[in-house]
Amino acid sequence: MSTHDPSGPQPEGGGKPSFDKQPPYPGGGTPEGEPPRPTPSDAPPGTPAEGPGAYQGTYGGSDHGQKPYDQPPSGYGTGPGMYGTPGPVPGMPPIGTWPRRILARLIDLILVEAVGAVVVGPFVDLGTRNGSTSAFWLGCAVYLVYEGLMLSRDGQTLGKKATKVRVAMLIDGNPPTQSAAWTRAAVFILPAVLCCAALWWLIDGMFGVFDKPFRQCIHDKAAKTVVVTTEV
């Protein structure tokens, strides 16, 4: 029977086993079983080790077709909406069609001008030039207030509700802000009051016909808005 020789070689550190060097975990992971963190040595050639462009690793510690942490998903904020029609932001409804937009505008103009005629009619002769001019100016003032208030509430006037379209902010598709709603109404109405209402509205509308890709009229450009449908 062999006996232990106390004079033989002893472990380093005075007879105590050394724990300074631990055996590697399977797969190079951590005690908790987590995958190893990527290192600069894993970066593609030419990637800086520090700074904004430094290598950030990939989702799940793997490069199997995944995208780096510092890159947003492709197509975010651009491209077609959920209904297949190009929109400023993903998921925005299709752009409103011209027949609906024109009909909505005509409904609103007729309603407002009717109010102007009812208010002015008892005091002036609408068959005269002065009477019709007074009714037009009053109608424009009422229209400015009417459209500014209605659009700032939910993006729809009565005409737009009837034709199922609405005004949305170009940047996010939300209803117009107070400033955007009043800017849109003012740019549509005030030039018409100053001179040549029919000509101004024709120019304003034709601008949207040729505008790509969101068919913005001049008043939309000024307010940074777009007209979209409310049904798909």
* Token duo for residue 205: 């509308």
pLDDT number for residue 25: 45
pTM for this prediction: 0.61
**Spatial contact of 167 and 175, defined as CB atoms under 8 Å apart:** yes
pLDDT number for residue 46: 58
User: What are 107-166's pLDDT values in tens digits?
Assistant: 999 999 888 888 887 877 877 888 888 888 888 999 999 999 999 999 999 999 999 999
More confident residue, 210 or 116: 210
**Spatial contact of 229 and 94, defined as CB atoms under 8 Å apart:** yes
d(Cα 221, Cα 129) in Å, to the nearest integer? 34
User: What are 44-57's pLDDT values in tens digits?
Assistant: 555 555 555 554 54
Is the pLDDT confidence value at 60 over 50? no
Is the pLDDT confidence value at 196 over 50? yes
**C-alpha distance across the termini of the chain, in Å:** 92
The CB-side HSE value for 116 (13 A sphere, CA atoms) comes to 23
* Token duo for residue 1: 């029977």
User: What band does 106 get if pLDDT is binned at 50, 70 and 90?
Assistant: very high
